[in-house]
Amino acid sequence: MKIEYTLLKEEKNTRARLGKIKTNYGIFETPMFMPVGTQATVKTLSPEELKECDAGIILANTYHLWLRPGEDVIDHAGGLHKFMNWDGPILTDSGGFQVFSLAKPKDITEEGVKFKNQYNGDSLILTPEKSIEIQNKLDSDIAMSFDECVGFPHTRKYVEESVERTLRWAKRGKDVFNNPRQSLFGIVQGAEFEDLRKHCVEELVKMDFDGYSIGGTSVGEPKDVQYQMVEYACKYLPKDKVRYLMGVGDPIDIVENVIRGVDIFDCVSPTRLARHGHALTKYGKINLKNAKYKEDFTPISSECNCYACKHYTKSYIKHLINAEETFGARLLSIHNIYYLINLTKELREAIKNDNILEYREEFIKNYYGEKEN
């Protein structure tokens, strides 16, 4: 069956929404942060550790799994869930972000996008049909339309053309989509132009997708521009469908965009920051490589209930990071993912209590205020 989204409550003073999503692999509440597991693994974490972080859903990537190990391997394994031993929901990105991060403008054509296989140099082309076909085989719970994620800055003319192409790609993908266990989302592009976002939403809604993603953010734009893009998209999106903001995971951005009506987020930052020695805390981001933590025998956060904070000190984790031991990256990944998922949990509480604006004020005061350590 397809996913079922239920809007449980709208916050009294903002556009923030409390909801729940039922999937073939369990139910989770929104707003929710989704850890990124590009290559069918959230880097350094086991599925059991993800469960301990309260992960409700994770993300995997069509482009990377297409190149390695190939969608047929995963199909023959019995699908992505079985292949990676994750029995919770999975969302797959379409490869659209790789259009932004890996392809050159000249590689984008009406048919699709040309790539070089990074492992063997083969010339490849990813089309909307191919992306959907791969995702059907991966058997994720939620698939994404193949889109073009436009970088920042850009010209209005380019965005206009790109939005139209992304809409044509969305239609082509939907026409070949054929996995009854899977849901398909359309992706709203249109950069910072309200009329283009509106137009894109309207055309996608006509095609009747199972949910909607907001794309084209977290590509280098200023924060206020990002919030504006999200506002424009949410303003026109139907209330009875889930909204997923792609690639956003800075804590303040999660707070601000939940307030603007976003339900799901994903971001590589918690795991990437972890690998580079950073920890997210209520009082801001800290860098465990800093000399001041050398003999700090307290946990990253005394208020955190994650596995890393319950058992290990900053001093020890700093040592692991300095020694390039993978356990350090793993402990910090657990902590950072736990932190972001817990942040969405607190936001759900704030929506229930209709005090999300107060929550934001308190959050900003703590996160950007005077640092204690």
Partner RNA sequence: GCGGAAUUGGUGAAGUGGUUAACACGCCGGAUUGUGGCUCCGGUAUGCGUGGGUUCGAUUCCCACAUUCCGCC
Binding site for RNA (CB under 7 A): 36-38, 42-44, 59, 61, 64, 93-94, 96-98, 100-102, 118-119, 144, 147, 149, 187, 213, 215-219, 223, 246-250, 253, 266-269, 271-273, 275-278, 285, 287, 289-292, 294, 322, 326, 329
Instruction: Count the helix, strand and coil residues of the chain and give each as a percent rounded to the nearest 5.
Output: 45, 20, 35
Q: Tell me the closest approach of the beta carbon of residue 92 to RNA, in angstroms.
A: 9
Phi, psi of 24 (to 5 degrees): -70, -15
Exactly one of 75, 93, 122, 296 is catalytic; which is it?
Answer: 93
The residue type of 17 is R
Q: Tell me the closest approach of the beta carbon of residue 352 to RNA, in angstroms.
A: 26
Q: Tell me the closest approach of the beta carbon of residue 52 to RNA, in angstroms.
A: 17
CA 179 to chain centre: 22
Structure tokens at 266: 């994903």
93 is catalytic: yes
The count of other CB atoms within 10 Å of the CB of residue 272 is 16
| Strands 278-281, 264-267: pairing kind | unpaired
Report the residue number, 6 or 313, with the smaller CB distance to RNA.
Answer: 313
Exactly one of 250, 253, 263, 266 is catalytic; which is it?
Answer: 266
Q: Tell me the closest approach of the beta carbon of residue 269 to RNA, in angstroms.
A: 4
Report the residue number, 19 or 215, with the smaller CB distance to RNA.
Answer: 215
Report the residue number, 210 or 354, with the smaller CB distance to RNA.
Answer: 210
Report the residue number, 16 or 248, with the smaller CB distance to RNA.
Answer: 248
* 216: region left, alpha or beta (phi > 0 left; psi from -120 to 50 alpha): left
Q: Tell me the closest approach of the beta carbon of residue 19 to RNA, in angstroms.
A: 20
Alpha carbons 183 and 178: distance in angstroms, whole number: 10
Report the residue number, 220 or 238, with the smaller CB distance to RNA.
Answer: 220
- Please give the angle made by the CA atoms of 342, 244 and 160, to the nearest 5 degrees: 145
Residue appearing with tokens 């953010």: 217
> Among residues 257, 181, 191, 260, which one has the least CA distance to residue 221?
191
Kindly list the catalytic residues: 93, 266
